[in-house]
Amino acid sequence: MATQMEHARNGIITDAMRVVAEAEHQDAESIRERVARGVIAIPANVNHKNLRFGGVGEGLRVKVNANIGTSSTFPDIEPELLKLDEAVRCGADAVMDLSTGNHIDESRRAIIGHSPVMVGTVPIYEATVEAIKRHGAVVDMTVEDLLSTIEKQAKDGADFMTLHCGLTRNAIERLRKEGRVMDVVSRGGSFLTGWMLHNDKENPLYEHYDELLDICAKYDVTISLGDGLRPGCLADATDQGQISELLNLGELTLRAWDRGVQVMVEGPGHMPFDQIAANMKLEKQLCHGAPFYVLGPLVTDIAPGYDHITAAIGGTMAAVSGADFLCYVTPAEHLALPTIEDVHDGVMASRIAAHAADIVKGIPGAKEQDLAMGKARKILDWEAQMKLAIDPEYAKKKRGARNPEDEGACSMCGDYCAVEIVNQYMKK
């Protein structure tokens, strides 16, 4: 079965491409051409049956992902399905299942079966948990353990997979020589780093990359090339470890495209605000325009409890400068497994960041939304304002709590509303 990229290269406009074109108010042939070049990815596993197609990449609306999944402390899948529903209701374009609790297979299948949006996974998590059960330690995980987990998750319908294929021994050595404050903060990156250092062997995801491509091509899984050496604090940003891994990801992108496999590239992480634009442009250059998927970036390390805001600040700059896909950060980041309320706040913060970038990037319809809100505010049309709000229910709740029901202005200005005053005299 051909992948979306292979169809595109053969001049075929698929149903998925048509859906993306309609959603993005663009021409289907233009979408096909960019899928063929790899600068747009449409993550759509052939086994994800209830999927609502979405595209990520050049010229498209900036997308938002929400992370969900069980942990060893909270292994119940039902709360995660409620978080999935909340994320989708809030406008998330994708979710990632990061489950590490009991019954990982069941959790993943439930999430994929329940999700109308694309679902991502991180196979190294399950492979690690199973290796500990089977062999007693992460470092005893075998190549077969890892490849079989990837095949199983692909067969289950994962639309994209984070695979830390660019985390090589050379990249780790560069990190060690330069030194870091926080070393490796990626969970998948830490598992593979420990495995490589203990076994004195190369990363199996790098060495067996062609076998991974065979699996991904079979099910049309988009590879999300993970950044195992992403900076975990500002002091570690844009160092030799991060950049050497990025160079590897550029090479691996071309190898995937040669096989007809779609690619996204993942990026930082914690990063000072003035380094974000340069990092985005560097990724686009080194990775040949592949869609860029970033966590944040978080622009300060000192805001636990408010990191959804920290990430939104960085996310807008990242998206304006070339990032295509924002992974949300919730208020619980660095603190705890997020609640359903944290999921809501994280998705909304990232959607605001994404929309702010869409305006600057000239995405069809973005600027028009804000113009409509401006016109509604001019005439104090509260019903229209609520409909246009990115979070209508929250806006209604705020207005209803602090304003008389029949009040034309808002209680911030009351009788001294600038809009009412100017409207009164502009009509004369």
Q: Is 229 annotated as a binding residue?
A: yes
Q: Is 52 annotated as a binding residue?
A: no
Residue 8's φ and ψ, nearest 5 degrees, are -60, -40
Q: Is 164 annotated as a binding residue?
A: yes
Note the Cα 234 to chain centre separation in Å: 20
Q: 134: which 2 tokens?
A: 């089977």
Q: Is 293 annotated as a binding residue?
A: yes
Q: Is 67 annotated as a binding residue?
A: yes
Q: Is 413 annotated as a binding residue?
A: yes
Please report where in the chains the tokens 């966590």 appear, as a residue: 295
Q: Is 410 annotated as a binding residue?
A: yes
Q: Report the DSSP beta bridge partners of residue 132.
A: none
Alpha-carbon distance of 216 to 160, in angstroms, equals 9
Q: 425: which 2 tokens?
A: 């005299």
Alpha-carbon distance of 394 to 402, in angstroms, equals 13
Q: Is 99 annotated as a binding residue?
A: no
Q: What is the 3-state secondary structure (H, E, C) of the chain?
A: CCCHHHHHHCCCCCHHHHHHHHHHCCCHHHHHHHHHHCCEECCCCCCCCCCCCCCEECCCCCEEEEEECCCCCCCCCHHHHHHHHHHHHCCCCEEEECCCCCCHHHHHHHHHHHCCCEEEECHHHHHHHHHHHHHCCHHHCCHHHHHHHHHHHHHHCCCEEEECCCCCHHHHHHHHHHCCCCCCCCHHHHHHHHHHHHHCCCCHHHHCHHHHHHHHHHHCCEEEECCCCCCCCHHHCCCHHHHHHHHHHHHHHHHHHHCCCCEEEEECCECCHHHHHHHHHHHHHHCCCCCEEEECCECCCCCCCCHHHHHHHHHHHHHHCCCCEEECCCCCCCCCCCCHHHHHHHHHHHHHHHHHHHHHHCCCCHHHHHHHHHHHHHCCCHHHHHHHCCCHHHHHHHHHHCCCCCCCCCCCCHHHCHHHHHHHHHCC
Q: Is 377 annotated as a binding residue?
A: no
Q: Is 228 annotated as a binding residue?
A: yes
Q: Is 287 annotated as a binding residue?
A: no
Q: Is 209 annotated as a binding residue?
A: no
Q: Is 18 annotated as a binding residue?
A: no
Query: Please, are residues 192 and 203 in contact by the beta-carbon 8 Å criterion?
Result: yes
Q: Is 264 annotated as a binding residue?
A: no
Q: Which residues sit in the known binding site for substrate?
A: 67, 96, 125, 164, 186-188, 227-230, 266, 293
Q: Which residues sit in the known binding site for [4Fe-4S] cluster?
A: 410, 413, 417
Q: Which residues sit in the known binding site for Zn(2+)?
A: 270, 334
Q: Which residues sit in the known binding site?
A: 67, 96, 125, 164, 186-188, 227-230, 266, 270, 293, 334, 410, 413, 417
